[in-house]
Amino acid sequence: DSRNLEVEQPTTSSAESVPKQPFVIGVAGGAASGKTTVCDMIIQQLHDQRVVLVNQDSFYHNLSEEELMRVHEYNFDHPDAFDTEQLLCCMGKLRHWQAVDIPNYDFKSYKNGVVPKRRVNPSDVIILEGILAFHDPRVRELMNMKIFVDTDPDVRLARRIRRDTVEKGRDIRTVLDQYSKFVKPAFDDFILPTKKYADIIIPRGGDNHVAIDLIVQHIRTKLGQHDLCKICPNLYVIQSTFQI
């Protein structure tokens, strides 16, 4: 049988030449859309895999004394608020299986460095989560899968009010001022336009169990292919031969 013969032939274009790199997932969406919740659910379902979560928040620039004195005039939703070069450096290292120390951002003092850095070891799956995770093309290029969490603005605002007053100790007036001055315009100008880069758009965030199940299934398939490639480099040849 010629088909069997073909299967037994070793090929030079085997998947061994495909470098095994971590599977990088980007998760973007408006503030309080449920990005972290979605990431946590994915990580929970992938409990048998090594997964690491990187937050874009960790790469907020430190504010100068002058900016700190007028913090209510600072736009934390603008792309320039983030140290994207440092983010790229950390993601690059993780993709090459090197451990990194990631800053821990303190929302109360608006500072990096108050809390010690977090040692992050390389993993099979790296999830990068943040409002502007898809903004820089160099960051987007690192991603094997892009997810946009799409939650109604009124739901996001309601959650934000609760979160910022309860967890960040801010007063409601400050939260509403920041929302109308910076958060909403930046969502319209910078975040929403990146939705077009998404492979998957999840309506309702963490409430959407079907979407999360499908995403986890896809990641498992991709990771399985990775591992099968290492064990059986001719797998694709076998598959394609029998499909003919």
128 is a contact residue toward ligand C5P (CB under 6 A):
no
d(CA 136, CA 10): 41
173 Cβ contact list (under 8 Å, min separation 6) = none
Closest CB 70 distance from ligand ADP, rounded Å: 25
Q: How many CB atoms lie within 10 A of CB 187?
A: 20
DSSP code for 12: T
Closest CB 54 distance from ligand ADP, rounded Å: 13
Residues that bind ligand ADP (CB under 6 A): 29, 31-37, 159, 163, 205-207
Closest CB 119 distance from ligand C5P, rounded Å: 22
Q: DSSP strand E in 14-90: where?
A: 23-29, 51-55
The residue sitting closest to ligand C5P, measured at its beta carbon, is 31
- Choosing from 88, 110, 226, 235, the residue that interacts with ligand C5P (CB under 6 A) is 110
Burial class (CB in 10 A: 0-12, 13-18, 19+), 242: exposed
40 is a contact residue toward ligand C5P (CB under 6 A):
no
Which of ligand ADP, ligand C5P, none has residue 183 at its interface (CB below 5 to 8 Å by kind)? ligand C5P
d(CA 90, CA 92): 5
202 is a contact residue toward ligand C5P (CB under 6 A):
no
Where do contacts with ligand C5P occur on this chain (CB under 6 A)? 31-32, 35, 57, 60, 76-77, 107, 110, 131, 183
